[in-house]
Amino acid sequence: MMNIKKALKNSRLMKSLTGLSPEKFKELLSYFEVILQEENSKRIRNNKDRKRKAGGGQKSTLHNAEAKLFYILFYVKVYPTFDVAGFIYDVHKAQTNRWMHQLLPILEKALGRRVVLPERKIENIEAFMKLFPEVKDLFIDGTERRVERSSDSKKQRLDYSGKKKAHTRKNIVVNDEKRKILILTPTVKGSMHDKKIYDKYGLGDTIPKEVTQWVDTGFQGIAKDYDVDVQMPKKNTKKKKLTFEEKENNKTIAGIRIISEHAIGGIKRMRSVSDVYRNRRGNTDDKLMLVSAGIWNLFIA
């Protein structure tokens, strides 16, 4: 069984187990506890067939909000199999599975109430300016994570990423110069190209021209398709070799765009979005990615 009190006294250990420092954990706990109480009250009101008084029966292993928050953060950060989690908490693996599905939406709501979750889609330029009035530069890149190969050949083709030479799921990550994730597009199949995701979720139509977009060559064509300010390295082709000046400019752009890699690396501190994804129920994949981005934003806040 986890000794949470001991972990809270060790900042390095807390970051390894939950992705947050003890101070950030306690800050998030205040939001998590309120939402947990709201959800419990709602469940009690809706359960009209209850035969036992609320709070009766066997006491849960996760006996309070602190233990529940620690478990779900531990799951997202360490990503143990349910067998391993069951062994650590001395319960059946099915119980740890239920805990994950019950607590992940509550964690998402807590991060949302703390206002650290990224936006999923922005409707127009006016909405963008209202949300991010001080942003002058955006760093945009796609990120993929491996999934188990499906036995269905059609699903295999949809998941297969030619870039990674593997079966993946993908998101576009948009962050600012401070590495904060501002926008995270919904999860799509790995076969979809970065530019198509950019088009599908209207990023070109919602980012003002005054905001410079720093992108890689996976976004070829956005300067032609949209009225935007784009900084993108030039490709070296067989017919047209890059000049010395163009190579130096590419190095400069790459040096600035490294911020994007740092932001994505911050999300992937969470093993649930860096290991091979193995959950199969519902849209857990998208929730894990969103929650991981929220945890990173809270970590650097």
Per-residue pLDDT tens over the stretch 54-110: 656 667 889 899 999 999 999 999 999 999 999 999 999 999 999 999 999 999 999
pLDDT of residue 300: 97
Q: How far is CA 68 from the centre of its chain?
A: 20
**C-alpha to C-alpha distance for 183 and 164, rounded to whole angstroms:** 23
pLDDT of residue 261: 96
pLDDT of residue 169: 95
Choose the weakest-confidence range: 13-27, 37-51, 160-174, 211-225.
37-51
**C-alpha to C-alpha distance for 45 and 53, rounded to whole angstroms:** 12
pLDDT average, residue stretch 229-256: 92
Does residue 230 register a pLDDT over 90? yes
Does residue 53 register a pLDDT over 80? no
List the domains of the chain with CATH numbers: 4-44+62-113 (no CATH), 125-279 (3.30.420)
Residue 106's Cβ-count burial label (10 Å; 0-12, 13-18, 19+) is buried
Does residue 251 register a pLDDT over 70? yes
Determine the Cα angle at 274 with ends 268 and 277, to 5°.
140
Does residue 33 register a pLDDT over 90? yes
Cβ–Cβ under 8 Å, residues 171 and 268: no
Does residue 29 register a pLDDT over 70? yes
CB under 8 Å to 19, separation ≥6 — which residues?
A: 73, 76, 77, 269, 270, 295, 296, 299
CB under 8 Å to 134, separation ≥6 — which residues?
A: none
pLDDT average, residue stretch 172-195: 97
pLDDT of residue 259: 97
Does residue 123 register a pLDDT over 90? yes
Q: Which residues pair with 137 in a beta bridge?
A: 212
pLDDT of residue 46: 73
